[in-house]
Amino acid sequence: MPIRTVMKANEAAAWAAKLAKPKVIAAFPITPSTLIPEKISEFVANGELDAEFIKVESEHSAISACVGASAAGVRTFTATASQGLALMHEVLFIAAGMRLPIVIAVGNRSLSAPINIWNDWQDSISQRDTGWMQFYAENNQEALDLILIAFKVAEDERVLLPAMIGFDAFILTHTVEPVEIPDQEVVDEFLGEYEPNHAYLDPARPITQGTLAFPAHYMEARYTVWEANENAKKVIDEVFAEFEKRFGRKYQKIEEYRTDDAEIVFVTMGSLAGTVKEYVDHLRKKGIKAGAAKLTVYRPFPTEEVRELAKKAKVIALLEKNVTFSVGGALFQDFSRALVNQEEKPILVDFIIGLGGRDVTFKNLDEVLEISKKALSGEEFDEVNWIGLRKEIL
Amino acid sequence: MAVRKPPITTREYWAPGHAACAGCGCATALKLATKAFSEAMEEKYGDPNAFAIAQATGCMEVVSAVFPYTAWKVPWIHVAFENAAAAASGVEAAWKKLGRRGKILAIGGDGGTADIGMQALSGMLERRHNVVYLMYDNEAYMNTGIQRSSSTPYGAWTTTSPPGKYSIGEDKPKKWVALIAAAHQVPYVATASIGNPFDFVRKMKRAAKVDGPAFVQVHCTCPTGWKSPLEKGVEIARLAIETGIWPLFEIENGDFFNIKIQAPGGGAKVKREGGRVVAIEFKKPIEEYLKLQGRFKHLFKRPEAIDEMREQIKAMWKVLGVDVTLPKPGE
């Protein structure tokens, strides 16, 4: 029987790792993710998890050791955040290019400077061109489930890509919520053993991994990463369906909330989706036709689902905890690209919100609504809006 | 007719056809290292192939694995420049969980080891992974076109340490990574040279056979970067040993007081006390080594720089607990 209990997202991630039975874990402490390697250390120390836990001297070495282990043919896991993920950046490209299905749990945290340990998504969003798949959890149960799902998708022969699962710093990493821990036997059946046919370092069948490619081959190698990301779209749907069948919890790349007949749809990711859904209920009571949508999968980007969603809205308000300077948020860029050649499309309005752990309140969302209404009624509006700025200290 | 047994296995793990420069001393080092490793694995585990290689970006990486070709007949992985030791840690951990016997060989040049890979190396040694780290030391960033590293010797020309009105070339003493590795109190640390292949092979076998981490720093000539004659690679490397430039030593478990120093040859007089080398009187002046290499050519117009080099060499030997005398030409 699954165990119903309460735990922090960090503990849920450690439990997911334990259930997935990786053979090698390499990790380095960093706020807010430190509890994950701590908890895994306990599992290993107690004999509850039969894995090598490499206590590396940096995140760069953590991901490098994961690449070595994964290339040797075993399931690998690590956890990090913020500066740690930024330090891994170089090797993230390599892991994807070498088609190694490593899974990272990311306690989404801002990037320096100024140094700040609280939540936004700049760390993982900044890795969006590495070739990694990206999943974002709304709550602690999703953090656990999405790690299991990520292993299954990553190791699929049609995919073979690494994956990161983001969950918001402190809001989830350090907050206790009800979580159901699935049965080990069911997880074993779901994931199976990892026995790669492309990555092993076995003296009985020596292969060379990580070669140099000249211009005659480099583009094709990169194209296979593109292709794998495209394949992943279908595989993710299949795995979501299988997950629902086995564990009873439904996942979708984009989860919609009260979008039928909605004029304004608020789109976001992570724990902010919870706040936004409640705000939508609040607006509906007042007769305002508002809806919400949450991206559970950010990479591969769910283009088709975005186009479907766009048909239902007159204005899409993108609420995002990240920024590309002089451009706007990542979702704004990605939604723009998904819709630019569509005949009919909603107006997109971008909102940079909640950076560095700034709380997102209904008052902030009222501001979002006012600007979105302007767009809806054909008034002038700013495309990119920083919400909740303390103008008095600027 | 009696057939003489070859001094080392005829098995090849580093295949011909790689793209190293003519006369590359590092290619020779890798050929010997893999042969030695294979012998050690055969002797220890009864399986000559019980090893895999994790290699840093660098000359020996780019010349050996150009898709769709490979020079490697052993499982081999390259990840990036600074992380061969970390990648090797992961491979070793995976092998442990797979129940596979054998040892991992990590390989990096002096830039990938002494500079950008220093932290990963320290971590791997400290965590006591069952990995041998081989640093092939050609004393500069040769892959990018001869820039100084912290392992470049005093006085050497490189493209980033050019001699000029205000420069004698590289102006810092060489950093000896083997001593830093030994400070981790790992089971085995050695320096070696392609100028003494038998000593190198013996040390590689020893390193491969110990349980836990080992570090070997091998001096390799680079005709391209040293501006030296292609055919004189081994001779130049041997002169480095015989003139006192390149010490050959072994340190077990960080026991600096019981460091083992190999006699340099070249007529040098070695003085021992209680089996320990305490003094060496070299007979060949360092100029014999320097004059064969274009990278030191400018020093012959700056004899005070060569004298300074002698002082630095004495200081380095002092760290090893050995008093050396170094002759000047004609002495």
- Rounded to an integer, what distance in angstroms lies between the CA atom of residue A148 and that of residue A143? 9
Among A57, A203, A204, whose Cβ lies nearest the Cβ of B123? Answer: A57
From chain B, pick out residues whose CB is under 8 angstroms from the CB of A201: 52, 75-77, 91, 94-95
Q: Are A91 and B79 in contact (CB < 8 Å)?
A: yes
- Rounded to an integer, what distance in angstroms lies between the CA atom of residue A4 and that of residue A357? 29
Q: What is the 3-state secondary structure (H, E, C) of A27-63?
A: ECCCCCCCHHHHHHHHHHHCCCCCCEEEECCCHHHHH
pLDDT at residue B1 greater than cutoff 80: no
Residue A219 identity? M
User: Using only C-alpha atoms, what is the Rg of chain B?
Assistant: 19
Average pLDDT over residues B245-272: 97
Q: Looking at chain A, which residue has its C-alpha nearest residue B80?
A: A91
Q: Is A64 on the interface with B (CB under 8 A)?
A: yes
Q: How many interchain CB pairs under 8 A, A with B?
A: 160
The pLDDT assigned to B4 comes to: 86
Average pLDDT over residues A180-205: 97
- Rounded to an integer, what distance in angstroms lies between the CA atom of residue A93 and that of residue A162? 10
Among A24, A62, A64, whose Cβ lies nearest the Cβ of B79? Answer: A64
Q: Looking at chain A, which residue has its C-alpha nearest residue B49?
A: A203
Q: Is A1 on the interface with B (CB under 8 A)?
A: no
pLDDT in tens, A228-245: 999 999 999 999 999 999
Closest-CA distance, B168 to chain A, in angstroms, reads 36
Helix, coil or strand: residue B258: helix
Q: How far is CA A84 from the centre of its chain?
A: 16
Name the CATH architecture for the domain at B25-262: 3-Layer(aba) Sandwich (3.40)
Helix, coil or strand: residue A272: helix
Q: Is A90 on the interface with B (CB under 8 A)?
A: yes
Please give the ipTM for the structure prediction. Answer: 0.97
- Rounded to an integer, what distance in angstroms lies between the CA atom of residue B282 and that of residue B40? 34
- Rounded to an integer, what distance in angstroms lies between the CA atom of residue B209 and that of residue B194? 21
Among B54, B67, B94, whose Cβ lies nearest the Cβ of A211? Answer: B67
Q: Are B79 and A23 in contact (CB < 8 Å)?
A: no
Q: Are B90 and A209 in contact (CB < 8 Å)?
A: no
Facing residues of B135 across strands? B108, B217
| Residue B30 phi, psi (nearest 5) | -70, -35
Average pLDDT over residues B130-148: 98
pLDDT at residue A1 greater than cutoff 90: no
A17, B97, B117, A215 alpha-carbon torsion, rounded to 10°: -80
> Rounded to the nearest 10 degrees, what angle do helices A140-155 and A184-191 cross at?
30
* Closest C-alpha among A276, A274, A331, A261 to residue A302: A331
Q: Is A58 on the interface with B (CB under 8 A)?
A: yes
Q: Are B65 and A211 in contact (CB < 8 Å)?
A: yes
Q: Are B83 and A64 in contact (CB < 8 Å)?
A: yes
Confidence class of residue A80 from pLDDT cuts 50, 70 and 90? very high
The pLDDT assigned to B3 comes to: 82
Q: Is A389 on the interface with B (CB under 8 A)?
A: no
A157, A125, A102, A143 alpha-carbon torsion, rounded to 10°: -100
| Residue B82 phi, psi (nearest 5) | -95, 5
Closest-CA distance, A196 to chain B, in angstroms, reads 13
From chain B, pick out residues whose CB is under 8 angstroms from the CB of A69: 90-91, 93-94
In total, chain B counts a number of residues equal to: 331
Q: Are A212 and B62 in contact (CB < 8 Å)?
A: yes
Q: What percent of chain A has pLDDT over 90?
A: 100
CB neighbours (10 Å) of residue A32?
A: 25
- Rounded to an integer, what distance in angstroms lies between the CA atom of residue A191 and that of residue B212? 34
Is the separation of the CB atoms in B328 and B188 below 8 Å?
no
Confidence class of residue B127 from pLDDT cuts 50, 70 and 90? very high
Q: Looking at chain A, which residue has its C-alpha nearest residue B50?
A: A203
The pLDDT assigned to B331 comes to: 84
Average pLDDT over residues A318-326: 98
Is the separation of the CB atoms in A63 and A94 below 8 Å?
no
Confidence class of residue B6 from pLDDT cuts 50, 70 and 90? confident
Mutate to test the interface with A, among B72, B97, B127 (most CBs of A within 10 A): B97
Residue A313 identity? A
Q: How far is CA B208 from the centre of its chain?
A: 15
Q: What is the DSSP string of B192-206?
A: EETTSHHHHHHHHHH
pLDDT in tens, A134-165: 999 999 999 999 999 999 999 999 999 999 99
- Rounded to an integer, what distance in angstroms lies between the CA atom of residue A291 and that of residue A259? 4
Q: Are B75 and A64 in contact (CB < 8 Å)?
A: no
Closest-CA distance, B108 to chain A, in angstroms, reads 15
Is the separation of the CB atoms in B181 and B215 below 8 Å?
yes
Is the separation of the CB atoms in A141 and A178 below 8 Å?
yes
Among A60, A72, A204, whose Cβ lies nearest the Cβ of B94? Answer: A72
Q: Are A65 and B90 in contact (CB < 8 Å)?
A: yes
From chain A, pick out residues whose CB is under 8 angstroms from the CB of B49: 203-204, 206
pLDDT at residue A307 greater than cutoff 90: yes
Q: Report in angstroms the alpha-carbon separations of B179 from A97, B133, B135, B203, B316.
A: 36, 14, 13, 16, 10
Among B52, B96, B97, whose Cβ lies nearest the Cβ of A203? Answer: B52
Q: Are B87 and A60 in contact (CB < 8 Å)?
A: no
Q: Are A24 and B70 in contact (CB < 8 Å)?
A: no
A63's enclosing H/E stretch is helix A59-71
Q: Is A203 on the interface with B (CB under 8 A)?
A: yes
| Residue A336 phi, psi (nearest 5) | -60, -45
Q: Looking at chain A, which residue has its C-alpha nearest residue B62?
A: A212
Q: Are B119 and A58 in contact (CB < 8 Å)?
A: yes
- Rounded to an integer, what distance in angstroms lies between the CA atom of residue B8 and that of residue B205? 11
Average pLDDT over residues B94-117: 98
Q: What percent of chain B has pLDDT over 90?
A: 96
- The burial of B292, by beta-carbon neighbours within 10 Å (0-12 exposed, 13-18 middle, 19 or more buried), is given as middle
Q: How many CA atoms lie within 13 A of B22 on its CB side?
A: 6
From chain A, pick out residues whose CB is under 8 angstroms from the CB of B95: 72, 201
| Residue B56 phi, psi (nearest 5) | -75, 155
Q: Are A203 and B50 in contact (CB < 8 Å)?
A: yes
The pLDDT assigned to B5 comes to: 85
In chain A, the N- to C-terminal Cα span, in Å, equals 55
Confidence class of residue B313 from pLDDT cuts 50, 70 and 90? very high
Residue A236 identity? I
Q: Are A52 and B96 in contact (CB < 8 Å)?
A: yes
- Rounded to an integer, what distance in angstroms lies between the CA atom of residue B102 and that of residue B119? 25
Is the separation of the CB atoms in B156 and B139 below 8 Å?
yes
Residue A242 identity? E
Closest-CA distance, B228 to chain A, in angstroms, reads 28
pLDDT at residue B10 greater than cutoff 80: yes
Q: Which domains does chain A have, with CATH numbers?
A: 3-247 (3.40.50.970), 254-393 (3.40.50.920)
From chain B, pick out residues whose CB is under 8 angstroms from the CB of A211: 65-67, 70, 78
Closest-CA distance, A133 to chain B, in angstroms, reads 20
- Rounded to an integer, what distance in angstroms lies between the CA atom of residue A220 and that of residue A148? 30
pLDDT in tens, A253-284: 999 999 999 999 999 999 999 999 999 999 99
